[in-house]
Amino acid sequence: MPSSQKFLIPCVLICSLLWGSAFPAIKAMYRLWPESQSWDARLLVAGIRFCIAGLMLAPIAGLRGYFSRIKSAERWPMIAVALAQTFGQYLLFYAGLALSSGVLGALLISAGSFWWMMLAPPMLGSPAPRRHHWLALVAGAIGATIAVLRPGAGSGSPLLGGLCFLTAALCGALGIIFHTRLKHSIDTRTATSCSLAAGGVLLVVCGSTAWPEMGRMLAPDMLGLTLYLAFVSAAAFALWNWLARQFSANLLAGYRFLIPLSGMVLSSLLIPEEKPGAGIFIGGGLIIGALIFTNRMEQRSPEAAIDPR
C-alpha cells in the first residue's frame, strides 16, 4: 500500500464533516443578517469568505516565493480553477441555497462525483468508467430526480434550486480536473490559495451593490460565522485537491458519498425550518448507495486505486 493510502479515509472524513457543516452555517448567517437574502449580499458574503480562505492558506503554502510560483504555473489551468471551482461553483451554489433547502443542496452537490467520473477520462486520460460506474451513474440520476420531485418542507423551489446545485457540482468537478492538471507546475496549497482568493475577488465584485452593508459583517456573530466558513473552505479544498492529485477519480468518487451524508444529517439537525420528505430519503439512498457500490467495486480492483499518471 502506498504511504499516501493510509491518509485517504481520515482526509475524506475531515472534508465531509467540514463541507457538511457549511450548509447549516450559511443558513444561520442568513437568519442573523436578513439583508443577506438579497442576491448581491449573498455574493458579497461568499466573496469575503473565499478571499479570507485564500489568505488563510497563503502562510501554509509558504509566503517565500508565493507569487513567483503562481507566475510559473500554467496560466490557463490556473484561471480555469479560479473560475470553475470557486467563482462558478459558488455563484450557482448560493443561488441554489437561496431557492431551495440545505438538505437538497447537500444531496445534489454529490453529483460532482458522477460529473468527475465522466469528465476525467477525456480530460485527464484517467481510466474510463466501467460497467459498474455507469450503473452507479444511472442510479444516481434516478435518485436526484426523486429528491427534486419530493424534497419535503422548507424546500422552496426545488426544480430551480436543484438545477443550480447540479450545475454547481459540474463546475466543482471541472475545477478539480483543472487543478489536477497543475500538479507538475505548482504545489497544491499555493494553487488552492490563489484560486480561492481570485474567485472570492470576482464574487465580491459581483456583489458590489451590497458594499454599503459590509459593516454588518463586523458584528461578532456574523464575523465568527464568516471566519468559520472561510476555514471550512481553506481546509477542505486544500485536503481534497491534495487527494485528487494522489488517487484516481473513480476511487475518490466512491468515497464522496460521505459528503452528502454529512451535509444531509447536519442540515436536518441544525436547520429548524427544514424537514426532509420521502424523496430526500429515497433519492438520497439511491445516490449514496450508488457511490458506496462504486467504492466497493473499486476496492476489488487494486490496480485502479492509484492514478497511474
- What is the phi/psi pair of residue 153, to 5°? -70, 150
pLDDT in tens, 244-265: 878 776 677 667 667 777 777 7
Match 462504486 to its residue by C-alpha cell: 294
pLDDT in tens, 73-101: 888 888 999 999 889 998 898 888 778 77
User: In this structure, how many other beta carbons lie within 10 angstroms of the beta carbon of residue 299?
Assistant: 12
- In this prediction, residue 309 carries a pLDDT of 34
Torsion of CA 48, 211, 106, 52, to 10 degrees: 0
Separation CA 271–CA 173 (nearest Å): 27
pLDDT of 168 over the 80 cut: yes
Q: Closest by alpha carbon to 110, among 232, 251, 259?
A: 259
- In this prediction, residue 307 carries a pLDDT of 38
Let me know how long the chain is: 309
Separation CA 152–CA 257 (nearest Å): 21
pLDDT in tens, 95-130: 887 787 767 777 777 777 778 778 888 887 877 777
Separation CA 176–CA 273 (nearest Å): 33
Average pLDDT, the chain: 79
- What is the phi/psi pair of residue 183, to 5°? -60, -25
The pLDDT confidence band at residue 135, using thresholds 50, 70 and 90, is confident
The alpha carbon of 73 is separated from its chain's Cα centroid by a whole number of angstroms, namely: 23
Return the exposure string of 90-129: e unless at least 16 CB atoms fall within 10 Å of the residue's CB, then b. Answer: bbbbbbbbbbbbbbbbbbbbbbbbbbbbbbbeebbebbeb
Match 499516501 to its residue by C-alpha cell: 4
Task: With H, G, I as helix, E, B as strand and everything else as coil, classify residue 31.
Answer: helix
The alpha carbon of 260 is separated from its chain's Cα centroid by a whole number of angstroms, namely: 10
49 contacts: CB under 8 Å, gap ≥ 6: 200, 226, 229, 230, 233
Torsion of CA 205, 107, 259, 195, to 10 degrees: -20
92 contacts: CB under 8 Å, gap ≥ 6: 164, 165, 167, 168, 171
Q: What is the mean pLDDT of residues 129-141?
A: 76
Concatenated DSSP letters for 68-100?
A: HHHHHS-HHHHHHHIIIIIIIHHHHHHHHHHHS
Separation CA 271–CA 266 (nearest Å): 8
274: phi > 0 → left, psi -120 to 50 → alpha, else beta; which?
beta
Q: Please tell me the least confidently modeled range out of 110-114, 287-291, 299-303.
A: 299-303
State pTM to two decimals. Answer: 0.78
Separation CA 236–CA 49 (nearest Å): 14
State which of 29-38, 101-110, 120-129, 230-239 shows the largest mean pLDDT: 230-239
